[in-house]
Structure 1
Amino acid sequence: MPKARAWWSEAVGGLPPTYWYLWTGLLINRVGGFTVLFLSLYLTAQRGASTALAGLIVGAYGIGGVAGTLLGGVLTDRWGRRSTLLASHLATAVLLVALALSTELHMIAFFALLLGLAQAMPGPAFVAAIIDVVPAENRSRAFNLQFWAFNLGMAGASLLAGVLAEWSYVGLFLIDAASTALTCVLIFWKVPETRQRTTLPQAEIGGMRTALTDRIFLAFVGLTLLQALLYSQTNTIVPLAMRDDGLSPAGYGLLTALSGALIVTGQLFVPKLIDRHRKARVLAVSLAVMAAGFAVLAAADSLPFYLLAGAVWTIGSMLAAPPNAEINSELAPPELRGRYQAVFFLTFPAASFLAPALGGASLQAFGPAHWLIVAAVGAIGAALHLVAGPARERRVAATAARTRQTTTH
């Protein structure tokens, strides 16, 4: 027991109270965030939409998410973290109620677009606030716990959503709205504004253009996109490959459950494993491990092979989560943290579009050899992380020195 307590203290201790309120808000949001999981089923089963129309409406939600990510980044730097979080959560709660009460498909499409925008806005603000309040030496643990909470919440949402959907789709929307409102109350009550005021004129601070012309940062974003493309295979192309191998949807459900279980049970051990190593090397290893997992699929024709591959690529993604978030936080100037976070977050919707579009065509054209192509992309990404690492480290050191000088004066 003393050893267990010591390990737990090392894993979660030393983080400020504001971080834990943000972490709790994120967890509540994720556990209650099950509306989108069942939006297409709701549209077809309850509102009479065709499959094509349901796809368009869900696509509108995705388009709103891209716009919301960018808007959230700008507002995080201009309004502040707290104001952006409060406004986005309040708007999300209202829109969820509006969706629950709407019956006309054109209004549902309109509200879905706005919901995508509102639900994407808090992402940059959450991360920027964490960077503001957590010292650099503790950020690996902070981001690791954030990733853990996100996946724990998603697992909870998946379990609850199926039960609640059988009871009432409208109830699903309203409970999601209630959990969002609860997060809003928690932030209003316990989270102060964390943005540091700057005396620099707006022209010197820069804007979105600064992030979009930062070559070192964009190289890192590009490598993160490669990683996201790999992981997006797991929920887009892997189910198709399993179907082609004669495996049932239940088999894919088991694979997904295994991945979630590994993250929930193992993610807290990751910082102790990686903290003494340089981030570029950790990311290179993580992509190499993911590549190895996908390479297994080239020979997979049964469920045990898929489960083995899933365990391997999940471990790779677990290793990558803390350094990805840390590097992103370190490359961003303090006054532009929201905008940098927004550009970084765009890699995920981009991967969600590119992975099925490119992966589907590749699987059809090359069959199992598709997974060797995916593995090669991962290996290239691993090598590029080693090449790009030194320049990133020099930038991080320069940014940290400038931040220390600014806070001293």
Structure 2
Amino acid sequence: MSLLSQLRLLPRPFWVLVGATFVNRFGVFVVPFLALFITRNGHTTAQAGLAVAAYSVGGFAAAWIGGWMADRLGRNVTMAVSALAGAVCMLAMSQAVDWRTLALLSFITGAINEAGSPASAALVQDLVPPEHRVIAYAVQRFAVNLAWSLGPATAGFLAEYSFFWLFAVDAATSAFFGIIAWVCLPRGRRTAREHAGWGHAWQSIKSNHAFLALFAACICTAWIFRQTNTTFPLHFERNGLPLHDCGLVLALNGVMICLFELPLAVSLRAWPVRQVLALGYVLMGISFLIFLVSGSLTAFVFMMVVFTLGEMSAFSRQQAYSASLAPEDMRGRYVGFLSLAWCTGNTASSALGMALYDQHPGLLWGINAALGLAAALLILSTRKISSYEL
């Protein structure tokens, strides 16, 4: 079946979600430049790292609350409340100066913004049958990364003029997404009150060994991925390169995904999912070793190419693989629980990674490579338990 034929099989509400997600993700201006915003206000790199880590810590609360809300209240309600409240938080952050205030607001914003993520992923699982989920997640990532290819470049130019506009645009696009989710998207599958608690979900999760291995692998990859939003721009600046070039190199990631991930998803559809995931994780990790050789603009571009090849190999399959391991009535909580892995990796990466970068950047690049290898081994160490071949 051709790519176009597979795209036509995806339902209309899915495309509404994709369009709204594009607008929302285009406006994710603050997170990539939050560390720079804080350091330019006269704070240290370590303090900036703690404030950025607070956003990830907020994601821990979001995973529990968002997963439960998605299953109990409905997908669209959860996404709408999260996005609209997150817009208010972004505007509040724009007025803060002290790093401790920013850290507190960053925690609250992370808890609210990320609460909608389990609902979005669960809604895709509700709308799209298993055999089309790799393509569906690739389409969703196409939208996210098309936005990412345009957003950071725009944000880089705005940051050189005024950081306030980063917060204002971020808030406006979040509000737009919240309105569309409330008005145009379905509630999706809802779970009865007596079965919607985390106790039922935990009994299932703790016996799902393939899912737990994926959880551990996601902690490793979250650490690696977070470095592109924290130490990557700092390393770029410390090598004497202009900020607008940093935005363009970050945008290269999105451009490559928009051009190549969908065709790659179709061409590799018959390949064993765990092997492709493992390859992707290894490429993401070893890409940072390039900085041991050079800090030139060419090195940053080459690093981003290798990193993106790994990301394209892993991430849409990772989402579909995770979906195949989750019971239908626990989709929101399974996604929420997996979000905890990303929160753990993101938090450690923001706080420890930036502090380590300040002292031993070469050691940090080596740790990234080792974590990529560890994630690959975790995935390869488990046997497939789902009847669905990605």
Q: Does 1:124 align with 2:118?
A: yes
The reply on whether 1:182 has 2:176 as its aligned counterpart is yes
Kept in 2: contact 1:96–1:115 (CA 8 A): yes
Higher mean alpha-carbon deviation, 227-236 vs 16-25, is at 227-236
Match of 1:28 in 2: 23
Q: How does 1:139-218 map to 2 (within 5 A)?
A: 139-165=133-159, 169-197=163-191, 206-208=200-202, 210-211=204-205, 214-218=208-212
The two structures have a TM-score, normalised by structure 2, of 0.82
Whether the 8 Å contact between 2:25 and 2:148 is mirrored in structure 1 is yes
Kindly indicate whether residue 10 of structure 2 is the aligned counterpart of residue 15 of structure 1. yes
TM-score calculated relative to the size of structure 1: 0.78
Task: Report the counterpart of residue 311 of structure 2 in structure 1.
Answer: 317
Q: CA deviation at 1:191?
A: 0.8
**1:326 counterpart residue number:** 320
The more displaced of 152-161 and 68-77 is 152-161
Q: Deviations over 1:126-168 (max 9, x none)?
A: 0000000101111001111222222222333223334445666
2:57 to 49, 52, 63: 63
Gaps of 5+ in 2: none
Query: Are the structure 2 counterparts of residues 195 and 238 from structure 1 closer, same or farther at C-alpha, using a change threshold of 3 Å?
Result: same
Contact 1:144 1:270 in 2 (8 A): no
- Tell me what 2:381 maps to: 387
1:307 and 2:304 are equivalent in the alignment? no
Matched, 1:80 2:69: no
- Residue identity matched to 1:248: L
Contact 2:3–2:266 under 8 Å retained in 1: no
Which stretch shifts more, 211-220 or 19-28? 211-220
Q: 1:266 aligned to 2:255? A: no
The worse-fitting range, judged by mean Cα deviation, of 325-334 and 203-212 is 203-212
Give CA-to-partner distance per residue, 1:97-125, whole Å, 9 cap, x none: 45557799987665443322110111000
Report the more deviating stretch, 270-279 or 118-127: 270-279
Q: Which of residues 272, 294, 303 is equivalent to 1:278?
A: 272
Q: CA deviation at 1:187?
A: 1.7
Q: Give me the whole-angstrom Cα distance separating, in 1, the residues matched to 2:139 and 2:5.
A: 12
In the TM superposition, what is the alpha-carbon distance from 1:38 to its structure 2 partner? Answer: 4.8
> Any conservation in 1 of the 2:6–2:132 contact (CA below 8 Å)?
no
Deviation, 1:292, is 5.1
1:70 and 1:21, CA in 2 relative to 1: closer, same or farther beyond 3 A?
same
* Secondary structure at the counterpart of residue 33 of structure 1: coil
1:248 aligns with 2:241: yes
C-alpha contact (below 8 Å) 1:74/1:208 kept by paired residues = no
Q: C-alpha distance in 2, partners of 1:8/1:301?
A: 39
SS in 2 for 1:207: helix
Q: 1:133 to 1:166 in 2, by over 3 A?
A: same
State the identity as a percent. Answer: 29
Q: Indicate the larger mover: 252-261 or 326-335.
A: 252-261
Deviation at 1:64, TM superposition (A): 2.1
**SS at 2:82's partner residue?**
helix
The structure with more radius of gyration: 1
Higher relative CO (Cα under 8 Å, sequence separation at least 6) belongs to 2
Q: Which range moved further: 270-279 or 249-258? A: 249-258
Q: CA deviation at 1:60?
A: 3.7
Change (3 A) 1:386 1:36: closer
1:28-70 CA-to-partner distances (Å, cap 9, x unmatched) read 111123244455666677xx77557766554443332321222
> Mean alpha-carbon deviation: is it higher for 261-270 or for 66-75?
261-270
